[in-house]
Structure 1
Amino acid sequence: MSIFFNFIIGFVAAFIGVIPPGLLNMSAAKISRNEGRKKALLFSIGVCITVIIQTFVALLAARYLDNNPDIIKTLQQVALGIFICLTIYFFFIAKDTRRMPPKELQSSKKRYFFNGMLIAAINLLPLPYWVYISVTFSAFGWFSFETYSLLTAVIASALGTFSMLIIYIQFFKRKDSTKESNVNMNYIIGAITAIISIITAFKIFKDF
């Protein structure tokens, strides 16, 4: 059962984490729109290889932190403040994202697989993200740091990331498409950070 929960949490957390427009998903969309789906898929596979490594390292760190509850309490309080600030930012401050992907993709049009790995490696946000997600759900008894369960979450994170990149690739698959998105993605990520803030606050006050 722990393997099942780890897979669900790993997949959903990765899927949600790639929803906001960023360098990875918008690069995949741009490649798909200008160079074709096959090259965009190759780029996405490279991204997922790096995601596997990053998630594995983050979960190993999280397993260590999970054995030190005093550190976890401090991290949860800091995280609560961060996510509240992020919620306010995405709802009221961030610019509207309803626009096409950037016209310039600053990466080589060759070796898309390795470009995907490199660009994903530059993005270090998944490390603290996975530490927080795993430790928080572990506190509720929904996430296991046992070896096989941990590896299941790692694989699920790659699948979740790849699934969202596929959505971006499909959405911007037409090279001559000029239609803008009608959804402000900032509201989506703001709602996500708000939910995470509520879960974190509940856990903190529950321990008091």
Structure 2
Amino acid sequence: MTFLTCLILGFAIAASGSIVPSFLNLTVVKFSLKSGRKSALYLIGGFATVLFFQANIGAYLSSILMKNSEYITSIQKVGIGILIILSINFFRMHFKKQKPKRKTEIQKSKAYFHGIGMSLLNTFAIPFYFTSISFLIGLGYFEYSPMNSLYFSIGSTLGSFCLYTLYATVASKIEHRLSFLAVRINFILGCLTGIVGLGNLFYLLY
């Protein structure tokens, strides 16, 4: 595969994943409003650094799975259990009474490392890349190799960086909308993980 093809695929996948409201998007918006756009870019740089490696891991795992299809059913069963547990946990977090949190100032010099720490907490990144790349491999649009994985990861890093930068740039205009979604994000994630988990369970049974 060519460098440009892998780059475009990585950019498109990461951009589509980053545009969905999440705690990372909300953090970018709040940080941009509090400390300015330049500081927010350091935060985004921390996000992008971790996402580069997460995309590589997702690509590697997808290549192993596609070559060993006999493990798919076992992995699906484990995945169903994890999704249902996650769904229950998200609903628990949504209905649990949240105590108001005090806002803490983050020094600009620590923004990059703060971004790395927060991105490491994003547990959906690797499964997202794993699923997306497996889908591309199944359709014949992506062929795994260390170089293709590297090119894809570069594209995904650029895609994430561009989308988060856009959030930082228009922070004042979208803060209210993201805040509205943020208080409901656990409920939304609970519904999504529950639907996917039950859908996979139904597929395995019937």
TM over 0.5: yes
Mapping for residues 63-74 of structure 1, pairs under 5 Å: 63-74=63-74
Q: Does 1:20 align with 2:22?
A: yes
1:20 is matched by which residue type in structure 2? Answer: S
Give, in angstroms, the shift of residue 123 of structure 1: 4.9
Q: From 144, 148, 171, give the equivalent of 1:146.
A: 144
Q: Residue in 2 aligned with 1:185?
A: 185
Between the aligned partners of 2:69 and 2:176, the Cα distance in structure 1 is 51
Cα distance per residue 1:150-184 (max 9 Å; x no partner): 4454244334533553465357548xx89993332
Structure having the larger proportion of residues in helix: 2
Counterpart residue type for residue 70 of structure 1: E
What CA distance in whole angstroms lies between the structure 1 residues aligned with 2:132 and 2:57?
Answer: 14
CA deviation after TM superposition for structure 1 residue 56, in Å = 1.0
Pairwise CA RMSD: 4.2
Q: What displacement does 1:79 show?
A: 1.0
- The answer to whether the Cα contact below 8 Å between 1:15 and 1:160 also exists between their aligned partners in 2 is no
1:15, distance to aligned residue in structure 2 (A): 4.0
Shift of 1:60: 1.6
Q: Secondary structure at the match of 1:146?
A: coil
Answer yes or no: is the 8 Å Cα contact 2:47–2:116 preserved in 1.
yes
Contact 1:11 1:157 in 2 (8 A): yes
| Change in 2 beyond 3 A, CA 1:170/1:7 | closer
TM-score scaled by structure 1? 0.66
Aligned equivalents of 2:180, 2:13: Cα separation in 1: 29
- Unaligned runs of 5+ residues in structure 2 are none
User: For residue 74 of structure 1, what is the amino acid of its counterpart?
Assistant: S
**Contact 1:29–1:169 (CA under 8 A) maintained in structure 2:** yes
Which AA in structure 2 matches 1:11?
Answer: A
**2:161 counterpart residue number:** 162
* Residues 144 and 150 in structure 1, CA contact (< 8 A), matched pair in contact too: no
Q: C-alpha distance in 2, partners of 1:10/1:179? A: 22
> Where does residue 11 of structure 1 map in the other structure?
15
Seq. identity, % = 24
Offset of residue 113 of structure 1: 3.1
Q: If the length of structure 2 is used for normalisation, what is the TM-score? A: 0.67
Q: How does 1:98-137 map to 2 (within 5 A)?
A: 103-104=103-104, 108-121=107-120, 123=122, 126-135=125-134, 137=135
Give the unaligned 5+ runs of structure 1.
Answer: none
| 2:79 corresponds to | 79
Question: When the two structures are aligned, how many residues end up with a matched partner?
Answer: 197
